[in-house]
Amino acid sequence: SPIPDYLQHVLDKARDNEAGAPAAYIDVLARADTSKLAVALAMVDGNLYSAGDDQVEFSIQSISKAFVYALAIEDAGLPRVLEKIGVEPSGDRFNQLSLERGTNRPMNPMINAGAITAHSLVVAPNATAEARTERILKSLSRLAGRQLHVDEEVYEAELKDADRNMGIGHMLKAAGIITCDPREAVKGYIRQCAINVNVKDLAMMSATLCNAGVHPFSGEQIIPHASVRQVLSVMTTCGMYDAAGDWVSNVGIPAKSGVAGGIIGTLPGQVGIAAFSPKLDERGNSVRGVAICEQLSRDMGLHMMDVS
């Protein structure tokens, strides 16, 4: 197949872009090897292609938010989730301490306030933090098709510096949005973000969303069909934080990025894309990862608004 050569070519081109810097606020991430670069494509028919550092693991970070939102919908039901978390793009940074005026809900599940709330709805609002993180790790592992693990070093590093996320947790509790101990919810959320993946894992997770929740390799229905539309809609409007508008117009694929440098793109019915490179732009999205997705979208005509 010519696809691996093509992917290699895309990586070589992306490598020229030297801009950005790894996330500075988590010291383990700040020390990341910025030369690492990888891409993977998982087709809904079960073909997986990858190039570059496709075995290198990094923490999933905010990409987990999309999948944990799906779990919250499965466990609490969509009406309850919508009562607690909005679906409007905030235009704010991902870690903004903000709630929607009037409803007190976090604006959407892709910013930290909404993601911590979604985390608190997994299993049940009164579940232990262990039960929630166990469920999340199990679900992400099924999506990846292999057992995933928490990177304890990343977890500890982020926990040590969690004042801002703890602040968000306490704000949510005070507003009556979360009902559990906010410290436990934030700890669990940080643990969920510290799960290690590689680009092939992410491409398969993404392809499952593309394939109406059915894993393209195992044929298992992992994400209920009814949640998939909701998750993809929110990824489209809010997945790239305050760059969502640029992203939708340039790349035109539902997506989610993480602060360790991962990005997934999810074109319904077709292909799950994953890219990895640690240096981020000022909005917190991987510079080379964005470039790779732009290139793939252009070359393969993936923009969802392109009618041909």
Name the residues that contact ligand GLN, by CB under 6 A.
61-62, 94-95, 112, 158, 165, 190, 193, 258-259, 284
State the distance between the two ends of the chain, measured CA to CA, in whole angstroms: 25
Query: Which residue, 59 or 297, has its beta carbon nearer to ligand GLN?
Result: 59
Nearest distance in Å: CB 258, ligand GLN: 4
DSSP state of 59: E
When the beta carbons of 95 and 266 are compared against ligand GLN, the nearer one is: 95
Closest distance to ligand GLN from the beta carbon of 94 (Å): 5
CB of 141 to ligand GLN, least distance (A): 19
147 alpha-carbon distance from chain centroid = 18
Quote the strand ranges of the chain, DSSP E: 38-43, 48-52, 58-59, 196-197, 255-257, 262-267, 271-276
Residues 6+ apart with CB under 8 A from 32: 22, 58, 260, 261, 278
Taking residue 130's Cβ as centre, other Cβ atoms within 10 Å add up to: 12
Greatest C-alpha distance within the chain: 56
Least Å distance between CB 283 and ligand GLN?
Answer: 10
Given strand 48-52, what is the order of strands in its sheet?
A: 48-52, 38-43, 271-276, 262-267, 255-257
* Residue 106 tokens, joined: 């976090």
CA atoms within 13 A on the CB side of 25: 12
Measured from the CB atom, is 239 or 252 closer to ligand GLN?
239
Q: Based on CB atoms, which residue is closest to ligand GLN, 7 or 113?
A: 113
Residue with smaller CB distance to ligand GLN, 48 or 137: 137
Shortest separation between residue 61's beta carbon and ligand GLN, angstroms: 3
Question: Smaller CB distance to ligand GLN: residue 10 or 28?
Answer: 28
- What is the Cα 114 distance to its own chain's centre? 13
| Smallest separation (angstroms) from ligand GLN to the CB of 230 | 21
Q: Residue 247 CB, nearest distance to ligand GLN (Å)?
A: 14
134 vs 161, beta carbon nearer ligand GLN: 161
* Closest approach of ligand GLN to the CB of residue 51, in Å: 24
Nearest to 273 by CA among 5, 10, 2, 68: 10
Give the nearer residue to ligand GLN in terms of CB position, either 157 or 296. 157
Nearest to 199 by CA among 67, 61, 296, 57: 57
